[in-house]
Amino acid sequence: MTDDVQNRSMVQDTLAAAPPEASYAALYRDELLERVLPFWLKHSKDEQHGGYYTCLLRDGRVFDTDKFMWLQGREVWCFSYMYNNVAPREEWLQMALHGAAFMEKYGRDAAGNWYFSLTADGRPLTQPYNIFSDCFAAMAFAALDKAAPDDRYKEIAVSTFKNILQRKDNWKGVYSKAYAGTRPLKGFSLPMILCNLSLELEHLLGAQQVNELIPAVIHEVMEVFYQPAHGLIVENVYADGRFSDSFDGRLLNPGHAIEAMWFIMDLGQRLQDKALVRKACDIMLHTLEYGWDKEQGGIFYFMDLLGHPPQQLEWDQKLWWVHVEALVALSKGYALTGDERCRQWFETVHRYTWQHFRDEQHGEWFGYLNRKGEVLLQLKGGKWKGCFHVPRALYQVWKTWEQLSQ
């Protein structure tokens, strides 16, 4: 029996055995606790140098030992978060502490910026050009401080967050490849992440500071990057918010937009703003409808707002994080609005994702498929994929459907 047939059989058997809400909750919970987190616990820990290996083959063997700081931070966050929100398992706490010690010792330059990559033993490889290393370091130490309160962790999280805010308008700085002044663009990724990051640090920043940040972040995401004439969110706009009719200005990343919409739904729920939740849900659904491959199934990686050929040659690949973030957004959309379109789309995306990305044999999920849904790379982690999107999504979907079932 092939893996795909096994996956389909398992999913169908599970769904037939219980009411949909309860069966989805159990399915996602068991996948998280029995097949995904154990994979990273077993294979990614570097016992010699500290930190984590993320370049892992299908069966967990290490194929490259470089360490990418944003993935180190994501894994510290993941095990801290599970410790805080699922169960205080000592092995999860020790895993988080192990990665944090490596990050604290080697991760930053003299100015406090987090490097992009290091050697296995902690020597810098790539300069701190990427502010997302900082974002996930702040998330990591904030979550770890909840699990094992320590003034050092608080200081690292808060100082890193302040540094992010100082750099946010020119975060690449000297590492930017753009020629100054000709086409000054700003990107969607940072305001998108700040939607979620501000909530992750609320216990350290305080509700007042978070409340002061939220309106500007919502405005950027929902008014500046959102193009109402098309109902879609672009990845780049001019610094003053205008649309740029260029490769970068027309670029759509459906996964980014869909992920951002569940961040916005969380903020809307916090603010008790039903209109904001409704708008985020509608944008998410429209993005999914636009980004869905109607010939082969799955969500495209990149698209062009005006239907022109994208410049990214990998535009038609199907990526793990895009699909699992869609599952989170659809679950939350259904829970918060009751919109049946969310439930119908959830079932469609769920079937595609579990049939194509899940690895029945070795645990964890594949990351990269071709347009037909065939596995492109036999890896479970690398430079861009680590212990983050899959476990976070499994947790979010589990808890959302659990609440629906109750």
**Residue 289, in any domain of the structure:** yes
**Residue 246, in any domain of the structure:** yes
The stretch 128-140 carries a mean pLDDT of: 96
pLDDT (tens digit, 9 = 90+) per residue, 225-263? 999 999 999 999 999 999 999 999 999 999 999 999 999
The stretch 147-161 carries a mean pLDDT of: 98
pLDDT (tens digit, 9 = 90+) per residue, 324-380? 999 999 999 999 999 999 999 999 999 999 999 999 999 999 999 999 999 999 999
Tell me what percent of the residues of the chain surpass a pLDDT of 90.
90
**DSSP line for 27-84:** HHHHHIIIIIHHHHHHHTB-TTTSSB--EEETTS-EEE--EEHHHHHHHHHHHHHHHH
- Nearest in space to 236 (alpha carbons), one of 220, 228, 225: 225
pLDDT (tens digit, 9 = 90+) per residue, 278-330? 999 999 999 999 999 999 999 999 999 999 999 999 999 999 999 999 999 99
Phi, psi of 45, rounded to the nearest 5 degrees: -70, 125
Bigger pLDDT: 20 or 62? 62
Q: For the chain, how long is the longest CA-to-CA vector?
A: 61
pLDDT (tens digit, 9 = 90+) per residue, 183-238? 999 999 999 999 899 999 999 999 999 999 999 999 999 999 999 999 999 999 99
**Residue 299, in any domain of the structure:** yes
Confidence band of 19 (pLDDT split at 50, 70, 90): low
Instruction: Please state, in angstroms and rounded to a whole number, the distance separating the CA atoms of residues 152 and 39.
Output: 29
**Which pLDDT belongs to residue 116?**
98
Range scoring the smallest mean pLDDT among 11-15, 69-73, 84-88, 367-371: 11-15
**Residue 30, in any domain of the structure:** yes
pLDDT (tens digit, 9 = 90+) per residue, 255-271? 999 999 999 999 999 99
Domain residue limits at 332: 1-44+225-406
Encoding tokens for residue 143? 């979550």
Confidence band of 8 (pLDDT split at 50, 70, 90): very low
**Residue 278, in any domain of the structure:** yes
Please name the helix (run of DSSP H) or strand (run of DSSP E) that holds residue 345, with its range, or none: helix 340-356
Question: Is the pLDDT score of 2 beyond 70?
Answer: no
Question: Is the pLDDT score of 14 beyond 90?
Answer: no
Bigger pLDDT: 17 or 22? 22
Question: Is the pLDDT score of 40 beyond 50?
Answer: yes
Q: Are 221 and 192 contacting, i.e. CB atoms less than 8 angstroms apart?
A: yes
**DSSP line for 278-308:** HHHHHHHHHHHHHHB-TTT-SB-S-EETTSP
What angle do helix axes 340-356 and 3-17 make, rounded to 10 degrees?
140
**Structural domains in the chain (count):** 1
pTM of the model: 0.94
User: The domain that contains 393 carries what CATH number?
Assistant: 1.50.10.10
Confidence band of 18 (pLDDT split at 50, 70, 90): low
**Residue 297, in any domain of the structure:** yes
Question: Is the pLDDT score of 13 beyond 90?
Answer: no
Average pLDDT, the chain: 94
**Residue 37, in any domain of the structure:** yes
**Residue 209, in any domain of the structure:** no
Instruction: Please state, in angstroms and rounded to a whole number, the distance separating the CA atoms of residues 184 and 186.
Output: 7
